[in-house]
Amino acid sequence: MLTKSFCSNLLKPTMLALALGTVSGAAVQAQTITAVMHAPLRAVDPVISTAYILRNFGYMIYDTPLALDSAGTPQPQMASWEVSEDGKTYTFTLRDGLTFHDGAPVTAADVVASVTRWSKVDKTGQVMASLMTEMVAVDDKTWTMTFGEPTGIALIALSKPSGLAPFIMPASVAATPVSEPITSTIGSGPFKFVEADYRPGVSATFAKFEEYVPREEPSDGMAGGKVVKVDEVVWTTMPDPMTSLNALMSGEIDFLEQTPHDLLPVIEGNPDISTRQVKKQGSQNLVRMNHTLPPFDNPKYREAVLLALGQQPMLDAQVGAGSEYSQACAAVFGCGSIYNYDYRADDIMYAHPDKAKAILDEVGYDGTPILLMHATDLATLNPQGPVIAAQLRDAGFTVDMVSMDWASVVARRASKATLADGGWNMFSTTNVLPDVANPIGFIGVAAGGDSAWFGWPNVPEIEELRMAVAQTADVDQQIEYAKKIDELVIDNGVMVPMGELFNVNAYSSKLTGLVEAEAPVFWNVEKAE
Amino acid sequence: MLSFVVKRVLSAVPVLFMVAVIVFMVLRLSPGDPAVMIAGPNATSEQLADLRESMGLNRPLLEQLLIWLGDIGRGDFGTSLVSGKPVTELVMDRLWPTLALSTSTIILAVAVALPLGVIAAWQQGKWLDRLVMAGSVVGFSVPVFIIGYVMILIFARKLGWFPVQGYKPLSAGFGEFASRLVLPSIALSFPYIALIARIVRTNVIEVMGEDYIRTARAKGQTERGVMTEHALRNAAVPIVTIIGVSIAMLISGVVVTESVFNIPGLGRLVLEAVLARDYTVIQAVILLFSTIYVFINLSVDLLYGLFDPRIRY
Amino acid sequence: MTTTPDSQVVLSVEDVTVDTRPKGKKPIVRNISFDVKEGETVCIVGESGSGKSVTSMAVMGLLPKDALQVTGGRIMLDGEDILKVTPARMRELRAASVAMVFQEPMTALNPVKTVGDQIDEVLRLHTKDSPAERKKKVLSMLDRVHLPDIERVYKSFPHELSGGQRQRIVIAMALILRPRLLLADEPTTALDVTTQKQILYLIKELQEQEKTAVVFVTHDFGVVSEIADRIVVMNRGDLVETGTRDEILTAPKKDYTRMLVSSVPSLIPRREPIAAQPKVLDVISLQKRYGKKGLLSDNTVLAAQDINFTVHKGEITGIIGESGSGKSTVARCVMRLTDPTEGSVVVNGRDIVPMNNLRDVRKQVQYIFQDPYRSLNPRRTIGQSLMEGLINYGMDEAEAKKRVGETLELVNMPASVMNRYPHQFSGGQRQRVAIARAVVMEPDLLIADEAVSALDVTVQAQVLKLLEDIRDNTGVSILFITHDLRVAAQICNTVVVMQKGKIVEHGAARDILANPQHAYTRALIDAAPAPDWDFQNFRPAAAAVAV
Amino acid sequence: MTTDSGNTMKAEETLALPDMEEAQNASGLGQLIRGILSTWPARISAVVLLLIILMAVFAPYLGTVDPVRLDPSQRLQGSTAAHWLGTDSFGRDLYSRVVYGARISLAVGAGTVIVALLAGVFFGVLTGYFRWADIVVMRFMDGLMAIPGILLAIALVAISGATLTTVLIAISIPEVPRVARMVRSVIMGVRNEPYVEAASVLGTSTIKMITRHMLPNTIAPLIVQGTYIFASAIMTESILSFLGAGVPPETPSWGNMMADGRLYFLVKPELILYPGVMVSLTVLSVNMLGDVLRDRLDPRMAKRI
């Protein structure tokens, strides 16, 4: 701390120094990482909201029972486990030294309460809960989960890295009903939340939690020891990506979570700035149709859309023509996942306006406009609408593209009404790849009709297969089921994969030891003077 | 005077009531609600219904309006639907950056525009006048974000004189505070310099045609004396008016400037709140702006009296 | 007279020509020469556009720089050619050697500074006196211009003073440095007659104390006859003739001067009451209250009360009063342009006060407004304006056009002017058009509200004659509102004198003007300039009575 | 010189009457236009504006392609034979978008002027002429005026979705109270003008009174205010686009193009530069003409902005 205050005093001589160009936020606060995140933090309940910034927030202040290593295998994090012979009962044991930020020890009862609350909301959690007969805290350190039949779901669920992750909070907090956002920020993670410096929508500060006891294994994905090597991490957001890039170049910030791909040339070759592509933080584009409204209640039309759309133009528009940061991919669960599959790859990846036209002619499409919702205020979604519209028009569809902010899309896509009453035919969005690579948890493939995600596809076979995936612990068997799901999803037009794009972190070259994981995490990171 | 102030403050009440009702209705009739924004992109319908229930969003509109108005009447602006923080706390936190930016902008604009306008009036019809006037039209014609980008590029990136972005409170030291306000204030002040300089010029020219200016000259007053002792104070009323108007207009520029220079002010707060449908925050901020507007008008009226003894309250 | 033949010449204007910048076809003031001696008052007289004000501004060096310039001649002030001095020297001369009093006391003072400060400014600029000395001098000057309560006045802002008081301030400001020459540009035109009289006396008094040379610019021969030692007559930029007061008033050499002088109305009543005729207008107990009564406070103003008078067919009735007397309020009530608070206005036997639909009445009563520049819609042709009323009452366009053409000729305008716009006409012509607009409706009663006040005397005389001709030809009755007793004396059969919203005297013009009963009427008559001069006949009024 | 029936006139008045030729021109539009075009800046502004209007009208014939046609594989290119000014981030032809952008931006400007003036005149007359309407309507207008225009516009666009019409209305609404106030003050000012009273003395009906004698007085200030609204509408549109509440992104408006291009300010500044120059030129020339118009029509109006 001596250094810090010494530096700041030295640098105080104000305007003159500033005018001479000695502005350097980095030097003043050597032990602080200032990170510009993709979205501002405005709420603090990481369980009821699927907003990714809240997932990232969760990883700062909470810990998870298990965690995936870089290869995607569940590993112990807070707890280790044993499976009974019959594969039906899992016994978890918390490791020593775990305490909450308020000083209370973490107990099995806290875990049970937290997992219970989480599994009311999370899709994977719900599946797990439906298979589970019992979850009890045996003592302070131990809890058990018992299932009706052998399953690997417990490990998948408790190591779920993204979407809603099973963060462990004090039992009293976890008792909050899911209809009510929690306001507590007491976790047991490697950072603690500095409530006094929290400015919703502007910045959030995380201080190193000195009492945190990391695992001894080296950091590996989300697994391994979470060793914090800086004093604090400050998250901010900047509404203007130009500004954040300029700020990074002038040393005012250290880390930029999402770098606009088109601006990478500006920082390339700059020795002060490093970039890295994080495939696990990439996203899959998808197009969703409303199965309950004409014309997409008719599978022929959905087939026509699948054929009409091609992936490359959308990826080009998002990250640049021929960019290395994108990849056309036909697999429903993502090309980087173990469920990678090239079923009907050509039809999915490339546009076939003629084939699509032929189908439209066959069913006698009368030119009724397709209402496509286009979100304009999010950088990755903004390019999607015009590209989809252009491709559909090429194939003979009439498209009525309605531009609105994301809040309006989110509201309108929930409507099952007719077009005249505020309904819709089609929208597009992205999901992060870790969420996609999960046949149970991926909302884009759920096809249970009314209970399915917006668009409400109803393909009972898919639902049966998803349950089957959950009910087996055999990975090969799971892959087998997943491929069947993939085929059914494509053939029924449940969703149309539109390619993958990868996230690029840009950061000061002073930072080393960044972890490659499903979310941007700040343990293990060192900052050079 | 006091009774005038009391009367004006009271007359602001129906205006603010009108604002409250208009804003409330505009927001509630818009698609999207905060529940979906809180629950995130993959939330299910049941989750949403539960959230709405707990946030009181499924009550009849009129009931919501009356509850809200009642709360305001008691000085309670509620909590942010998104962050759960008290709205007053959020707004107060964001108020200072905006206040600092607006104040420095207006001071800068007046400090530059007043002499420019006087010089232009003095040199009426000559090349200096034309230059100032042409420059002022250009000031109107370039969008503020472009001015902002160019200033960042030149003064922050190329010359490194000022930070690119951000805001530091005064408590962090005057240098830290001021250095971050220089570029945004300059960028934001352009149109107001243009506007105020024009008004100053026009009014000074008009006043210079008045009989009492002729009287002053007939007394043997110098041209400088005519300008400083007679013309400026008489031109002050419309100039004060336009400065008041400028402050009221500032908000649109503030929203943009805060974005470009990453200043965590009210403009950004309300913009983000609109995108997230955080009703309580939007309502409170707009009401705050309207209140400021009303009170600026009141202060302008009171200032009239300072400059013109004919005006009494 | 305070001058003697060997008095020193203070101002000598020699062959001065003023032109526009850039140069126009013809200079706007051409080859003017005259001298002013110390203690002497020279009046420059002329109608609007004669160049009299431009001449005085040239002497002061206050011509607007970018519009006008002196292109020839010399202006010698105590032997120094002020056209050749440096700007700094000119500033020294101003106030110290040559000072000016302007027409509009309302606007000539800076509204945001106290009057004391504004007089003090002159001393600050031209003397090295200490503030205390200066204040003493200012207060004594305020005393000399006979202002009451000078300590209070010193701290007052111009708007807190009356018009007459303000003009005294301007005079104090002009004379505090005892300048050699005082230029007074229409200094009393904007004032009521009683105030005018006082100001004229004040100037005279101060002039006699200081032997100041005075150049007095005016259009009003009444004023001239009161104060002038010598007269300079100007017309359209040329000097017509100069001479002593008596030479010009009794034996003008030039036709223009003759016409100018003979156009000046004099106070001698010329019209007899008319023989008994039916009543056209009967105003009974009229009252008008402006503003609303508050719960606790009474902010209302009683603009007219207890108004009773009648107008007979073919009669011209004058309502006379100073500003604020309520005379216009009465006229507007009669027209129902303003709704009376109480009382009746009976037009041709019908009370129009309770009426909701005024269409019928409107045709019977017509109104001629004071300002001919504002009473015609500038965007409509004369024809459109004149036909509007006829068409409103259902006449077809061709017929209306014919009628308007005839009426225009009645007011001595060619019918061809119908296609033109008001701005193409002079004030006198416009007033004729306005009269035609009223007359074409064939009303029974014409209300002329200060209808000739804004006009030059020669035009005024013509319009007065026109009104009488129309009365004679059509038998219309006229309610003639004026502040000018001399005008009323020219045209009215009967007069009503008003003061502070009440009628103080009422009767035949001949009786009231020659033999006023009420003190106020007497004061008005006394204050009127040159009550004893019969201008039309170039002789004192006493001679007229003798005829 | 008049010869017909001139004999009834006195000699000196015949002299004073202007001749007929001058009379015809004096009030004509021609004179106004000639007056406006008497200075160089105004002449240049008029030419620039005319060129922009022509560009908007003849957009399809100026060597353009479909401005919405996208080809992401050709995005962010420099000038080529196929794309004179290069392409934007969707691979759309920048030149065509700039040219077609004139249509949208002028439409936004003109549309806002029309909506704001029509509504403003309506409310202005209502409140200026009819006392009973004044209190109610003006309260509402005060409330509307107290809400920051840009925030109201953002909220309105968020409600009704980003279409050209909503943007236009959203930009117009905050202007309405200002126009209404101006019209109201003019109407109240002329209500006691002698020529208006003269018309009422002549039995003129309310409608005629308003249309013939009162409204013409608002034309000059309306034209001047119209030019400023026009200019500020184009600016506001670009700001709304910048804030993500502008016209639909496909629509080639200049504001939109600038907003889209701002991300590329460091890599391809032309994306902002071209539309930016067009906006500035348009706003500049409209403002310039507005200034001259104001000086010509009513010098006193400067005070009211």
CA–CA distance, C228 with C245 (Å, rounded to integer): 6
C245 alpha carbon, distance to own chain's centre: 21
Q: Please check whether residue A290 is in contact with residue A455, taking contact to mean a CB–CB distance below 8 angstroms.
A: yes
CA–CA distance, C415 with A326 (Å, rounded to integer): 86
- For residue D91 the two structure tokens come to 């691979």
Q: Is B226 on the interface with C (CB under 8 A)?
A: no
Q: Are residues D97 and D186 in the same domain?
A: yes
CA angle, B142 then D232 then D263, to 5°? 45
Question: Given pLDDT bands bounded at 50, 70 and 90, which one contains residue D279?
Answer: confident
> Which residues are CB-contacts of A314 (< 8 A; sequence separation ≥ 6)?
A285, A383, A384, A387, A388, A498, A499, D72
Bridge partners (DSSP) of residue A80 are A93
Q: Which helix (H) or strand (E) holds A371?
A: strand A370-375
By CA distance, what is B238's nearest residue in D? D303
Q: Which residue, C298, C287, C294, C102, is CA-closest to C199?
A: C102
As a whole number of Å, the end-to-end CA separation of chain D is: 43
Q: Is B149 on the interface with D (CB under 8 A)?
A: yes
Q: Please check whether residue A492 is in contact with residue A442, taking contact to mean a CB–CB distance below 8 angstroms.
A: no
- Determine the residue among D22, D195, D200, D214 to mutate to test chain C binding: the one whose Cβ has the most chain C Cβ atoms within 10 Å: D195
> Which residues are CB-contacts of A385 (< 8 A; sequence separation ≥ 6)?
A372, A373, A374, A375, A376, A401, A403, A428, D249, D250
Q: Which residue, C153, C149, C227, C213, is CA-closest to C183?
A: C213
Q: Which fold has domain C1-97+180-264?
A: Rossmann fold (3.40.50)
Mean pLDDT of D62-91: 87
D155-214: pLDDT as tens digits? 888 767 778 888 898 899 989 998 998 899 889 888 888 888 888 888 888 888 898 888
Single-letter amino acid code for the residue at D133 = A
Per-residue confidence (pLDDT) for residue B184, from 0 to 100:
94
Mean pLDDT of C41-47: 90
Residue B231, judged by CB atoms within 10 A of its CB (0-12, 13-18, 19+), counts as buried
Question: Given pLDDT bands bounded at 50, 70 and 90, which one contains residue C293?
Answer: low
Q: Which CATH class is domain C279-527?
A: alpha beta
Q: Which residue, C286, C360, C361, C363, is CA-closest to C329?
A: C286
C493-534: pLDDT as tens digits? 999 999 988 999 999 988 888 888 999 998 888 888 777 778
Bridge partners (DSSP) of residue C342 are C287
- Determine the residue among B219, B234, B237, B310 to mutate to test chain C binding: the one whose Cβ has the most chain C Cβ atoms within 10 Å: B219
Q: Is B310 on the interface with C (CB under 8 A)?
A: yes
pLDDT of D18 over the 60 cut: no
* Same fold for the pair C1-97+180-264 and C279-527: yes
- Are the beta carbons of A386 and D244 separated by less than 8 Å? no
Per-residue confidence (pLDDT) for residue D300, from 0 to 100:
45
CA–CA distance, B151 with B163 (Å, rounded to integer): 11
Mean pLDDT of C192-219: 88
**Touching pair D, B by Cβ (3+ pairs < 8 Å):** yes
Q: Are residues D259 and D276 in the same domain?
A: yes
Per-residue confidence (pLDDT) for residue A463, from 0 to 100:
93
Task: Provide the 10 A C-beta neighbour count for residue A399.
Answer: 19
Per-residue confidence (pLDDT) for residue C296, from 0 to 100:
57
**Residue C237: strand, helix, or coil:** coil
Question: Given pLDDT bands bounded at 50, 70 and 90, which one contains residue D20?
Answer: very low
Q: Is A328 on the interface with D (CB under 8 A)?
A: no
Q: Are residues D18 and D64 in the same domain?
A: no
The 8-class DSSP code of residue C165 comes to: H
Q: Please check whether residue C122 is in contact with residue B219, taking contact to mean a CB–CB distance below 8 angstroms.
A: yes
CA–CA distance, C156 with C153 (Å, rounded to integer): 5
- Determine the residue among A404, A412, A415, A498 to mutate to test chain D binding: the one whose Cβ has the most chain D Cβ atoms within 10 Å: A404
Q: What is the CATH number of the domain that holds D266?
A: 1.10.3720.10
CA distances from C120 to A520, C105, C184 (A): 77, 18, 21
Tell me the residue range of the domain where D78 lies. 41-304
**Touching pair D, C by Cβ (3+ pairs < 8 Å):** yes
Q: Is B141 on the interface with C (CB under 8 A)?
A: no
Which of residues C294 and A137 earns the better pLDDT score? A137
Per-residue confidence (pLDDT) for residue D194, from 0 to 100:
86
Q: Please check whether residue D271 is in contact with residue D91, taking contact to mean a CB–CB distance below 8 angstroms.
A: no
Question: Given pLDDT bands bounded at 50, 70 and 90, which one contains residue B233?
Answer: confident
Q: Are residues D183 and D280 in the same domain?
A: yes
Task: Provide the 10 A C-beta neighbour count for residue B267.
Answer: 31
> Which residues are CB-contacts of B69 (< 8 A; sequence separation ≥ 6)?
B17, B20
- For residue C529 the two structure tokens come to 């300039």
pLDDT of B291 over the 50 cut: yes
CA distance D99 to chain A (A): 20
Q: Please check whether residue A123 is in contact with residue A446, taking contact to mean a CB–CB distance below 8 angstroms.
A: yes
Per-residue confidence (pLDDT) for residue A334, from 0 to 100:
93
Q: Which ipTM value was assigned to this complex?
A: 0.77
Would you give per-residue pLDDT tens digits along chain A (529 residues)?
333 333 334 334 443 334 343 344 444 445 899 999 988 888 899 987 778 899 999 999 999 999 999 888 999 999 999 999 998 999 999 999 999 999 999 999 999 999 999 998 888 898 899 999 999 999 999 999 999 888 889 999 999 998 889 999 999 999 998 878 888 999 999 999 999 999 888 899 999 999 999 999 999 999 999 999 999 999 998 888 888 888 999 899 999 999 988 888 888 889 999 999 988 889 999 999 999 999 999 999 999 999 999 999 999 999 988 888 999 999 999 998 899 999 999 999 999 999 999 999 999 999 999 999 998 878 889 899 999 999 999 999 999 998 887 877 887 888 888 888 888 999 999 999 988 998 988 989 999 888 888 899 999 999 999 999 988 888 899 999 999 999 999 999 999 999 999 999 999 999 999 999 999 999 999 998 7
Q: Are residues D32 and D135 in the same domain?
A: no
D79-116: pLDDT as tens digits? 888 888 989 888 899 999 999 999 999 999 999 999 99
The 8-class DSSP code of residue D19 comes to: P
CA distance B20 to chain A (A): 23
Nearest to C111 among B218, B220, B234 (CB): B234
The 8-class DSSP code of residue B305 comes to: H
The 8-class DSSP code of residue D218 comes to: H
Per-residue confidence (pLDDT) for residue A10, from 0 to 100:
37
> Which residues are CB-contacts of A142 (< 8 A; sequence separation ≥ 6)?
A91, A92, A93, A94, A108
By CA distance, what is A195's nearest residue in B? B85
Task: Provide the 10 A C-beta neighbour count for residue A340.
Answer: 18
A204 alpha carbon, distance to own chain's centre: 20
As a whole number of Å, the end-to-end CA separation of chain C is: 31
Q: Are residues D183 and D202 in the same domain?
A: yes
B176-213: pLDDT as tens digits? 888 899 999 999 999 899 888 988 888 888 888 888 88
> In chain C, what are the domain boundaries?
1-97+180-264, 107-178, 279-527
**Residue A248: strand, helix, or coil:** helix
The 8-class DSSP code of residue D211 comes to: I
Identify the weakest region by mean pLDDT among B94-98, C134-138, C454-458, D233-237.
C454-458
Q: Are residues D25 and D72 in the same domain?
A: no
The 8-class DSSP code of residue A155 comes to: H
- Are the beta carbons of A403 and D69 separated by less than 8 Å? no
- Are the beta carbons of D195 and C437 separated by less than 8 Å? no
For B82, phi then psi, to 5°, come to: -90, -50
pLDDT of B51 over the 80 cut: no
Per-residue confidence (pLDDT) for residue A411, from 0 to 100:
76
CA–CA distance, D42 with D33 (Å, rounded to integer): 10
Q: Which residue, B248, B250, B254, B116, is CA-closest to B184?
A: B254
- Are the beta carbons of C112 and B221 separated by less than 8 Å? no
CA–CA distance, D254 with B141 (Å, rounded to integer): 13
Which of residues D299 and D235 earns the better pLDDT score? D235
Per-residue confidence (pLDDT) for residue A1, from 0 to 100:
37
Nearest to D2 among C367, C392, C414 (CB): C414
Per-residue confidence (pLDDT) for residue A331, from 0 to 100:
95
Mean pLDDT of B218-236: 87
Residues of chain B with CATH 1.10.3720.10: 91-312
Q: Are residues D80 and D186 in the same domain?
A: yes
Identity of the highest mean pLDDT range in B270-284, C76-90, C214-228, C306-320? C306-320
Q: Is A105 on the interface with B (CB under 8 A)?
A: no
Nearest to C107 among B211, B217, B230 (CB): B211
> Please, what is the angle between helix D254-261 and helix D94-129, to 10°?
120
Q: Are residues D95 and D182 in the same domain?
A: yes
D6 vs C contacts (CB less than 8 Å): 414
Mean pLDDT of C167-196: 86
> Which residues are CB-contacts of C192 (< 8 A; sequence separation ≥ 6)?
C163, C164, C322, C323, C483
- Are the beta carbons of C414 and D4 separated by less than 8 Å? yes
CATH of domain B91-312: 1.10.3720.10
pLDDT of D132 over the 60 cut: yes
Which of residues B81 and B161 earns the better pLDDT score? B161
As a whole number of Å, the end-to-end CA separation of chain A is: 13
CA dihedral of residues A384, A390, A394, A400 (deg, nearest 10)? 100
CA dihedral of residues A320, A326, A330, A331 (deg, nearest 10)? -150
| Mean pLDDT, all residues of chain C | 86
pLDDT of B217 over the 80 cut: yes
By CA distance, what is D87's nearest residue in A? A317
